Amino acid sequence: MHTQVFVDDPVKIGQNFAGKHIISIRQFDPQSLEILFHKTSTIKRCLQNGEQGEALAGKVITLLFFEPSSRTFSSFSAAIKRLGGQTIEYQNPMQTSSAIKGETLEDTVRVFEGYSDGIVMRHFEEGAPARAAKALSRIPIMNAGDGSGEHPTQALLDMFTLYEKFGRLDHLKGVIAGDLLYGRTVHSLLKGLSFYPGNTFYLLSPKELRLPRELFEEYTKARVTLVEIEKETDIPTDCQVWYWTRVQKERLADPSTYEVLKNRFIVTKKLLKEKGNADMIIMHPLPRVGEIDPAIDTDPRAYYLTHEVPNGMYVRMALLSLVFGK
Ligand code: CP
């Protein structure tokens, strides 16, 4: 398969996903997202009807996860197997691979290029998947989360979930709460929503965890309106979505900061009654560590476990089919 070599400005997807590295949500646009979401809906319907996929038959994909993961690792693994492919699964390579002997990231991915048809990589360093892509000459790599940089496939599943619910990705109003400084899912999601007109998002965070200024400026120059707030009382009552996130403890230099900042904003029945509405949905990329009261889980508006989790596998199946499929 021909692979487009990744350069600093990521290769745009356009209408053709085949053989491309997936590094950033910036590679997408409304046209490529329409293709992906159409494919996702088809795959979801087929799977729910008991049909099996074969798009990855004969392919082996390496899952190389340098940071812990439950959902992203397992949903990629399930997606590959449900498409007839096989996996080499490497979790925690800093403890179990030759990385511990000092092997470079570039050499590590070149080795797996010798064994497999593609790599899905999570890394604790921002920009690591882009670096790895430059070292590869034959196979594509997918970014499964890089430090506090991006999490493009999480944004794709979040956007698909919004699209399924509201039938559009424009003219949405929402709250995004929590750790907007280090939260890579928020960085990718807001960029993706900035492709569409008329979106307004209220950013609720402690001032220490505000969205990085360069991203705030970039997104507001695009098509999304951002309003920073610091109190739940400032949440408008007509939002379509509340997207909550955890404070990224592992990225804070001082653990005592975490104790001060964690769970500043919690979704409770009381808050939903005061500021919610009947038509909204509640999202969270997970894991949650106290930001959403479990009493909310049975509320039909709670989409994190019932919709985002399964959609993660369907969206990744669609993406894998388009990038690696015949
Ligand atoms: N949402 C998400 O990335 O979860 P994991 O860290 O468990 O993969």
β-partners of residue 88 are 62
Query: Residue 204 Cα, ligand 1 centroid: separation in angstroms?
Result: 21
Separation CA 239–CA 236 (nearest Å): 6
Can you tell me whether residue 28 is helix, strand or coil?
A: coil
Exposed e or buried b for every residue in 264-296, given b needs 16+ CB within 10 A? bbbbeeebbeebbeeebbbbbbbebeebbeeeb
What was the pLDDT predicted at 9?
Answer: 65
Please say if 122 is a catalytic residue: yes
Q: Is the CB of 69 under 6 A from ligand 1?
A: yes
- Residue 108 and residue 234 in one domain: no
Any catalytic annotation for residue 101? yes
Which residue's CA lies nearest to atom 5 of ligand 1? 69
Q: 148 with 183: CB under 8 angstroms?
A: yes
Residue 2: what pLDDT?
Answer: 37
pLDDT, position 3: 40
Mean residue pLDDT of the chain comes to 94
Residues 222 and 248 in one domain: yes
6 in a domain, yes or no? Answer: no
For 173, the domain range is: 152-305
Residues of the chain with pLDDT under 50: 1-7
Cα separation values, 130 from 7, 91, 154, 163, 315, Å:
8, 19, 17, 28, 22
Catalytic entry in 20, 21, 39, 122: 122
209 lies in the same domain as 87: no
Q: Are 111 and 159 in a shared domain?
A: no
Question: How do 118-123 and 141-146 pair as beta strands?
Answer: parallel
Residue in 40, 62, 72, 153 annotated catalytic: 72
Query: Domain count of the chain?
Result: 2
- Give ∠ CA 111-117-118 in degrees, rounded to 5: 80
Q: How far away, in angstroms, is 67 Cα from ligand 1 center?
A: 10
Assess whether 38 carries a catalytic annotation: no
- pLDDT tens per residue across span 177-220: 999 999 999 999 999 999 999 999 999 999 999 999 999 999 99
CA dihedral 237, 238, 243, 245 (to 10 degrees): -20
How buried is 29 (Cβ within 10 angstroms: 0-12 exposed, 13-18 middle, 19+ buried)? middle
Can 187 be counted among the known catalytic residues? no
- The residue count for the chain: 326
In this structure, are 137 and 181 located in the same domain?
no
Coil, strand or helix at 106: helix
Percentages (nearest 5) of helix, strand, coil residues in the chain: 45, 15, 40
Q: Is residue 245 lining ligand 1, measured as CB closer than 6 Å? A: no
* pLDDT for the residue 99: 81
CA distance 32 to 15: 6
**Claim to verify: residue 280 and residue 316 sit in the same structural domain:** no
Angle between helices 71-82 and 309-324 (to 10 degrees): 50
Residue nearest atom 1 in ligand 1 by C-alpha distance = 285
Is 2 within a domain?
A: no
Same domain, 226 and 126: no
Q: Is residue 1 part of a domain?
A: no
The kind and range of the H/E element at 304 are: none
Out of 2, 101, 207, 221, pick the active-site residue. Answer: 101
Do 135 and 181 belong together in one domain? no
Q: Which CATH number covers residue 251?
A: 3.40.50.1370
Q: Is the CB of 145 under 6 A from ligand 1?
A: yes
- The predicted structure's pLDDT at residue 8: 57
CA nearest to 110, candidates 138, 129, 83: 138
Report pLDDT for 62.
Answer: 98
Q: What is the pLDDT of residues 129-184, one digit of tens each?
A: 999 999 999 999 999 999 999 999 999 999 999 999 999 999 999 999 999 999 99
**Rounded CA gap, 45 and 277, in Å?**
30
Query: Helix 184-193 crosses helix 213-221 at what angle (to 10 degrees)?
Result: 20
* Distance from Cα 70 to the centre of ligand 1, integer Å: 6
Helix (H) or strand (E) holding 226: strand 224-229
Measured in Å, residue 126 CA sits from the centre of ligand 1 at: 16
- State the pTM of this model: 0.95
Backbone φ and ψ for 263, nearest 5 degrees, come out as 50, 35
- Amino acid 5: pLDDT: 38
The SS3 of residue 282 is strand
Give the separation between CA 319 and CA 45, rounded to whole angstroms: 16
- Does 226 lie in the same domain as 145? no
* Residue whose CA is at the smallest distance from ligand 1 atom 3: 72
On whether residue 244 sits in a domain, the answer given is: yes
